[in-house]
Amino acid sequence: MQTPLRAMAQLHVDRHPEEAARVLENLPPGEIAAVLQKASANGAAGVLACLAPGLASMCLAHCPERERSAVVGLLPTRTAAALLRQLEPGVRDETLRALPESDRARLSRVLSYPAQSAGAFADPSVLTLHADLTVEEALSRLSQSQGPVAGRIFVLDRSQRLVGAVTPGQLLTSRRGAPLASLDLGPAHAVVDRASAAALRATSAEPLAVVDPQGVFVGAIGDDVLPRLEPQRQRPTVAHFVAAAGEMYWLGFREILIGLCSGSRSAEPPGEMPRADS
C-alpha cells in the first residue's frame, strides 16, 4: 500500500528531485529504493545525488543490479564514487562490471586514490546535514544516527558541496523551525582529496573534511586516523582527558536528543535562543 509520503515523492522525482529527496529521506532506505525503481533512471539519479551519501548508498544497495548500474552511470563522477565506496565490495564490483567501459574507467580512476592520500583515509559514511534542513529535522537526524556524533557536523548543499559546520550544542539552542543555512555556521576545515599524509599530519583540525577540487564532499577524517599516520605521535595528558570526557558526553548526548525528539514538541521557543559558539 502506497503511503502519502511515497505518493507525494513519486510525483516529484522526475521534475523536482530536490523536493523529492527531502520527502523521501524520511523513509527507510528500502522504501526509498522502491519509489526510485518506479521512476526513470534520470529521476532516480537526480534524487540520489541530493540525498546524504550514506543514505543514498543504502538505497542503491536495495536496487537490482541492472537498475543500480544504470543510475550510477548517470550520477556525477564524484557523487557516484562516494556512493560506491560505501557499498559492500562484492556489490560495488558487480555494479562496476555492469557499467559501460567508459563509465567504469572514469569511476575506477576516482576510486583508486593513492594509499596515503586524504581521499583514501576519508570516511564517506560520516553523518552530514543539508543546509535546507530545519533545526528540528537536523536534531531528528542526529537522534536516529547509529554511529558516533562528532563535535562538529559538516553541512552540505544539495550538490554535496561543503558550506560549513554546526555543533550539536548550536542546534539545541537554536529555533526549531530555522533552516541550517540561516544559522551562524562555523568554518569547515578541509583538505583536497589528493592531499598527502604529510599534509594531514600538519593539521590539527578534528574532524577534517575531505573535498574534491570542486568542493564536493568526499568524506571526513577523524582523530583516530592521525595516530596511524604518525605512530610516535602522542597526545598530551590533558588531551587524553578531554577526549575521554568528550566520549562520555556523546554517550549521554544521544539520549538527550532522543528524548527531545520523541517528547513534547508543542512549545516552540519565542524567537531564537542564543546560539552556542561554533
Q: What is the mean pLDDT of the chain?
A: 79
Residue 107: name the closest of 126, 83, 89 by CA. 83
Which fold is adopted by the domain 121-262?
A: CBS-domain (3.10.580)
DSSP of 238-254: HHHHHHHHHHHHHHHHH
Tell me, yes or no, if the pTM score tops 0.75.
no
Indicate left, alpha or beta for 271 from its phi (over 0: left) and psi (-120 to 50: alpha).
left
Note the pLDDT of residue 145: 79
The DSSP 8-state label assigned to residue 183 in this structure reads: S
Task: Name the range with the highest mean pLDDT among 4-18, 50-64, 264-278.
Answer: 50-64
To the nearest 5 percent, what fractions of the chain are helix, strand and coil? 50, 10, 40
Look at residue 114 and tell me whether its pLDDT is greater than 50: yes
Which CATH architecture describes the domain 4-112? Answer: Alpha Horseshoe (1.25)
Domain range list for the chain: 4-112, 121-262
